Chain A
């Protein structure tokens, strides 16, 4: 993964109001903890070498815990460099509600999962659909509305989005 793409991704994240930090496996725990506003819930990341277990995150929460949480931590299947978007799966672990209900979403994305643009991401998704069509969402920045007469962030979805970009080894 080129640094250009990471730089582009970072810029796009900032353009869409998303804060971010880059880290490697060693630095992951402390980078993550810095990004949390408690109480935090999360779903297992499924990435080798890192986990949420030793961070103050309730992994696999109950629905009641989910509703009470301020931060939700999920993996992102893909990151889209041009727009700073994440592809979040609607999986059985609950990535969709965990990324959606809390006021703050922390998305963990691996550098190797960054793709150049949305058509490229749709290509990847399309290949997966050929096997097994599933549900997912491209999420870009905080939820927003102009319906009340001025732009307001944080409507039905998160008000703050933070990205943790995990370097390849």
Chain B
């Protein structure tokens, strides 16, 4: 899957959009919907996630000890444990075991054996290897890599598979339906299982105290592979160890729900081999099962390190080891839903968490090939049953990739825009987008000239060639009068106090006239300040109408732009500056109202990594998304009538909340406020709009971004085609602007008392 040139990357994505998109999208969004359903129906799901997380943290902390414990228990049971340093070591061991026992191997699904390319190693040694999981069988026959952690072949439709099988096996009657394909594969593989000398399985969990392997399957192949041949080899990463059956409990409730939305898998095998189950010689017509005996049974547990010990010692990658490979991060990912793991994946692993796995077991180069496909939308964060901060892992790896890059010939073009701590040589487009603040300041100061210039043909061509900005995108239009300029011009904080006071005198506010006032600052984020000041102006008027004194101080940009390009040090420095500028306001008891959801997400989520705990807590607890804040005001007695409700012939509202806003749980408030004012609201289901900051501007990803957006556009078309479109995020507004004829607005603009 090596894609070197950016143009190759675009072509590869285009190819996948044309060939695999439909099946991937259908299957992943089905799993995703089912996960939502199953997790909301299960009472206490969130507590279970917390518990699972704790257990994994503890197990990885105690890993060396658990390895010793499992060695003792497995050996006491009569099996063998081999700890393999790397892929070659593991393969060599398995090959020796197989050679002692025969030359045919059947396997149940195991990503870990994919990681070490066990099949290739065994085949090179003259062993016949058969994958018995039907999805794995399909990719084995097609000689492809799995495209998904849980559904290796979910990029293929029944028709596809039928064509593949008919071509390969030439059955008497051509196969057509899923039923026929399944029956064919079952019979074919059933014979292979019965003949096999060795069964190889993976393990979802390994219980150290008892030496028990836990396998989660739906087809029953895992059971057959483990029970039929006398020799069973289980290959598992060392991170699969849990102390005992007690710690397994939350995982048995979580894993199937997270993966496919099932309450429980069809088969949850608890194998403590070698088992007492009788040896099965199927040609034996005389000896009953109870007399077959199990003396010939043999068991080998191969525990694979292959970089995991180093990951454990790496404070940023360590979390990856908590992953239970449920695939939920892939299913909830808008980009993955379009292209699947053949673009969004490395040598073995796929989806958001693949970046961590591939960086750990293969190296940065492999992770770098697909790391950009994570836009940081954070929709996977709440999906992950072990609460892994998957976007953070992607950001850290991006930072490391940036630092590993060599200096290039166009560096001088963005040099002045880049802070010193970021390395020269890093991708120029990334440096440009990461320092969007500088461009925005310059662009706004010289608008409208800057807008004309930027859109002029030769400039756009240069931007495409050097910075990778797709020529098909409209560029953000900078406003000459910034949001802060406007606020100062109308009299600044003093005027706002006066306005809020008047409102209170008129009885329109939540704060009784003789009581203390509520004060807020509206954070002038980069986009609100320079590109979309209208939403800032509306926010100020809405707050004043509810009796809140507003200030719009000079606060630096949040660091979201550099962070999204993997410029962690720059973002970290920004966080300190932002906190420095806000501390006084926080101390004065002012609330921080944020219009741009991705910046609110910085304050609440990412700043946790950058600020001391107390500072982060103070800022995050006192920051609100604009309409979330309005919701709070209305809940506390604010008068909704001072805001603008639906027009007499209002067409209704189609609302797309921002991905990061939803992860924070700050999206429902907007719907509630709109409902309360009498708007008729429909919500989008799409996980993300596809623009995701700079992502949709990039030449390599333009088509993917549009493909993601198409899902949203479809939702807002048809019967909803007349509705007013509102969205909270800048990116979402830009994307909807490109996708629809209707002009989208921010919800606070709808509420604006000055709206006509």
Contacts and interface: CB of A to CB of B under 8 A. Distances in A.
Interface of A: 43, 60-67, 82-83, 85, 90-98, 100-101, 118-119, 122, 125-126, 129, 133-152, 154-158
Given A64-B284, A65-B285, 19 more contacts: A43-B290, A63-B281, A94-B277, A97-B277, A97-B278, A97-B280, A119-B253, A126-B245, A137-B270, A138-B264, A139-B266, A140-B265, A143-B218, A147-B219, A149-B156, A151-B178, A155-B220, A156-B193, A157-B267
Contacts of A43: 289-290
Would you list the 4 A-B pairs with minimal beta carbon distance, nearest first? A157-B220, A149-B158, A94-B289, A133-B210
Nearest to B244: A126
Contacts of A126: 244-246
A110 B294 CA distance: 28
B621 interface: no
Interface string B255-274: 00000000111111111110
A134 B282 contact: no
Contact of A63 (B132, B209, B280): B280
16 contacts: A61-B289, A63-B280, A63-B283, A64-B284, A90-B277, A92-B290, A98-B289, A119-B253, A135-B270, A141-B266, A145-B134, A145-B219, A147-B154, A148-B134, A149-B159, A155-B221
A158 B190 CA distance: 13
A100 B278 CA distance: 13
Tell me which of A85, A133, A142 has the highest count of chain B C-beta atoms within 10 A of its own C-beta: A133
Interface stretch (B180-188, B309-317, B600-608, B663-671): B180-188
Contact of B288 (A62, A67, A143): A62
A89 to B, nearest CB: 8
B219 A155 contact: yes
B232 to A, nearest CB: 10
A90 B273 CA distance: 10
Contacts of B273: 135
A138 B151 contact: no
Given A118-B252, A118-B253, A64 B265 contact: no
Contacts of A122: 245-246, 248-249, 252
Nearest to A119: B249
Contacts of B285: 62, 64-65
B275 interface: yes
Interface in B218-249: 218-221, 223-224, 227-228, 244-246, 248-249
Contact of A156 (B77, B156, B189, B244): B189
A133 B74 CA distance: 10
Contact of A100 (B160, B223, B272): B223
Interface string B196-224: 00000000000001111000001111011
Contact of A137 (B156, B267, B287): B267
A71 B620 CA distance: 62
Interface residues of B, number: 78
Contacts of A82: 263
A102 to B, nearest CB: 12
A61 B273 CA distance: 23
B290 to A, nearest CB: 5
B134 A61 contact: no
Contacts of B269: 135-138
A139 to B, nearest CB: 6
Given A100-B224, A157-B219, A60 B290 contact: yes
Contact of B267 (A63, A143, A150): A143
Nearest to B270: A136
Contacts of B185: 148
A138 B264 CA distance: 9
A154 B219 CA distance: 8
A83 B244 contact: no
Contacts of B134: 145, 147-148, 155
A156 B186 contact: yes
Nearest to B184: A148
Contacts of B337: none
Contacts of B227: 90, 96-97, 100
Contact of B287 (A62, A139, A158): A62
Nearest to B160: A149
A156 B190 contact: yes
Contacts of B210: 129, 133
A159 B51 CA distance: 35
A133 B79 CA distance: 13
Nearest to A144: B218
Contacts of A64: 282-285
Interface in B478-527: none
Given A92-B276, A145-B218, A157-B219, A135 B151 contact: no
A27 B297 CA distance: 40
Nearest to A58: B288
Contacts of A135: 269-273, 275-277
B157 A149 contact: yes
Nearest to B220: A157
Contacts of B278: 92, 94, 97
B275 A134 contact: yes
A80 to B, nearest CB: 8
B168 to A, nearest CB: 15
B298 interface: no
Tell me which of A129, A139, A143, A149 has the highest count of chain B C-beta atoms within 10 A of its own C-beta: A149
B277 A91 contact: yes
A85 to B, nearest CB: 6
B289 A129 contact: no
B135 interface: yes
Contacts of A62: 284-289
Nearest to A65: B285
A91 B189 CA distance: 25
Nearest to A127: B245
B658 to A, nearest CB: 32
Contacts of B81: none
A148 B218 contact: no
Interface string B122-154: 000000000011110110000000000001111
A114 B151 CA distance: 33
B273 to A, nearest CB: 7
Contacts of A91: 276-277
Nearest to B260: A146
A61 B288 CA distance: 5
A139 B282 CA distance: 24
Given A64-B284, A133-B77, A156 B158 contact: no
B277 A92 contact: yes
Contacts of B212: 129, 133
Contact of A155 (B186, B194, B265): B186
B151 A156 contact: no
A134 B272 CA distance: 5
B161 interface: yes
Contacts of B154: 147
A144 B178 CA distance: 12
Contacts of B151: 146-147
A138 B249 CA distance: 13
A97 B211 CA distance: 22
B636 interface: no
B245 A144 contact: no
B69 to A, nearest CB: 13
Contacts of B133: 147
A142 B265 CA distance: 11
Given A126-B245, A140-B264, A156 B271 contact: no
Contact of B245 (A129, A145, A155): A129
A63 B282 contact: yes
Nearest to B283: A64
B73 interface: yes
A101 B245 CA distance: 28
Given A100-B224, A118-B264, A156-B221, A147 B135 contact: yes
Nearest to A84: B264
A62 B291 CA distance: 9
Contacts of B177: 150
Nearest to A152: B182
Nearest to A146: B151
